């Protein structure tokens, strides 16, 4: 069964450094998302991406964040200058296969980002 | 903005019993509501989606109800097993286009043998 994959599983970085989190969504899906979950808190929406552009973003997704689909398979989240409060689990998700109108989202296993 | 409330207390039940989890939302009724399972350190896994015009949806041992009058969804696991122990998340569409999901905090279910 197709699944969303993410790399790395764990990333440790120093405050102020840039990080890139990588995702490979399910191949026939049209919508891609990034969510984050701070330890012990809710899963929070960051950004959605459709047709090679951002379709929606949250207040969390400020100028320090960017997303890109550099080729036909990868979807990346970049944090330009990490802060301590960026430490969280980051989940990539995809949805809406090209055939059908299902709305469920399929999540990857996550990347644990630790900012020191 | 839309808010979701799930019982923050963990639900402890005996194996074989039916677990019932509650999700309440404020404001407008969403076009659909979804339930996900999350294990520690893992991503949410989709379980069921129920639309606003559906009263009930079933999948194997899982049943979801949707009451737009009460602004509530109930999630049932019948014949529960220790392997069902996890956090269960309720989610509804949000934002301008309804593509993003707004999640509740989740309810921890512990099934004891």
Higher pLDDT, residue A13 or B96:
A13
- At residue B94, the pLDDT reads 86
Residue B3 has pLDDT above 90, yes or no: no
Q: What is the pLDDT of residue B110?
A: 98
**Percent above pLDDT 70 for chain A:** 95
How many residues can be counted in chain A? 116
Residues of A in contact with B43 (CB under 8 A): 4, 91, 93, 107-110
List beta partners, residue B21. B75
- pLDDT tens digits, residue range A14-35? 999 999 999 999 988 989 999 9
pLDDT > 90: percent of chain B: 80
- What whole-number distance in Å separates Cα of residue B95 and Cα of residue A48? 10
Q: Find the residue in B nearest to A3 (Cα).
A: B45
Looking at the partner chain, which of B32, B43, B103 has a beta carbon nearest the beta carbon of A108?
A: B43
Main-chain phi, psi angles of B41, to 5 degrees: 75, 15
Give the DSSP per-residue string, B8-43. -S-EEEETTSPEEEEEEE-SSPPSEEEEEEE-TTS-
Q: From A49, which residue of chain B is nearest by alpha-carbon distance?
A: B99
> Bridge partners of B100?
B94
Spatial contact of A92 and A3, defined as CB atoms under 8 Å apart: no
pLDDT of residue A99: 62
Give CA–CA dist A43/B104, Å, rounded.
8
Alpha carbons A13 and A83: distance in angstroms, whole number: 10
pLDDT-derived band at B31 (thresholds 50, 70, 90) equals confident
Query: What are A34's two structure tokens?
Result: 């990034």
Is the CB of B94 inside 8 Å of chain A's CB atoms?
Answer: yes
How far apart (Å, rounded) are the C-alpha atoms in residues A1 and B27?
37
Chain A hits for B34, Cβ within 8 Å = 103-104
Would the CB atoms of B43 and A112 count as touching at under 8 Å?
Answer: no
- What rounded mean pLDDT belongs to chain B? 93
Rounded to an integer, what distance in angstroms lies between the CA atom of residue B34 and that of residue A93? 15
What span, in angstroms and rounded, lies between the C-alpha atoms of B3 and B50?
18
Length of chain B as a residue count: 113
Structure tokens at B28: 């407008």
For residue A41, the chain B residue with the least C-alpha distance is: B105
Phi and psi (nearest 5°) for B44?
A: -60, 145
Cα B51 to Cα B73: distance, rounded to the nearest angstrom? 11
What average pLDDT does the segment B52-70 reach?
A: 94
pLDDT digits 0-9 by tens, B69-103: 999 999 999 999 999 999 999 999 987 767 789 99
- Closest to B109 (Cα-Cα) out of B37, B11, B19, B7: B11
Helix H or strand E segment including B68:
none
pLDDT digits over A76-100, tens only? 999 999 999 999 999 999 998 666 5
| B96 in contact with chain A, both atoms CB, cutoff 8 A | yes
pLDDT of residue A59 exceeding 70: yes
Contact (Cβ atoms closer than 8 angstroms) between residue B45 and residue B62: no
Separation of alpha carbons B37 and A101, rounded Å: 22
Q: Cα–Cα distance between B88 and B85 in angstroms, integer?
A: 9
């Amino acid at each position: 069964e197709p699944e969303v994959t993410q790399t790395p599983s764990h990333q440790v970085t120093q405050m102020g450094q840039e990080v890139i989190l990588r995702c490979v969504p399910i191949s026939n899906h049209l919508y891609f998302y990034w969510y984050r979950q701070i330890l012990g808190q809710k899963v929070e929406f960051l950004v959605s991406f459709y047709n090679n552009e951002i379709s929606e973003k949250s207040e969390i997704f400020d100028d320090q964040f960017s997303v890109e689909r550099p080729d036909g398979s990868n979807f990346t989240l970049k944090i330009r200058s990490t802060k301590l409060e960026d430490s969280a689990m980051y989940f990539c998700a995809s949805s809406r296969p090209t055939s059908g109108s299902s709305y469920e989202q399929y999540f990857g296993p996550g990347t644990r980002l630790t900012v020191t | 903005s839309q808010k979701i409330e799930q019982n923050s207390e963990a639900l402890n039940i005996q194996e074989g019993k039916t677990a019932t989890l509650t999700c309440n939302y404020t404001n407008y009724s969403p076009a659909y509501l979804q339930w996900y399972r999350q294990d520690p350190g893992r991503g949410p896994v989709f379980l069921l989606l129920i639309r606003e015009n559906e009263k009930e949806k079933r999948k194997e041992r899982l049943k979801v109800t949707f009451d737009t009058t009460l602004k509530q969804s109930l999630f049932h696991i019948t014949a529960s097993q220790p392997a069902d122990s996890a956090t269960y998340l309720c989610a509804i569409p949000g934002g301008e286009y309804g593509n993003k999901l707004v999640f509740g905090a989740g309810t921890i279910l512990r099934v004891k043998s």
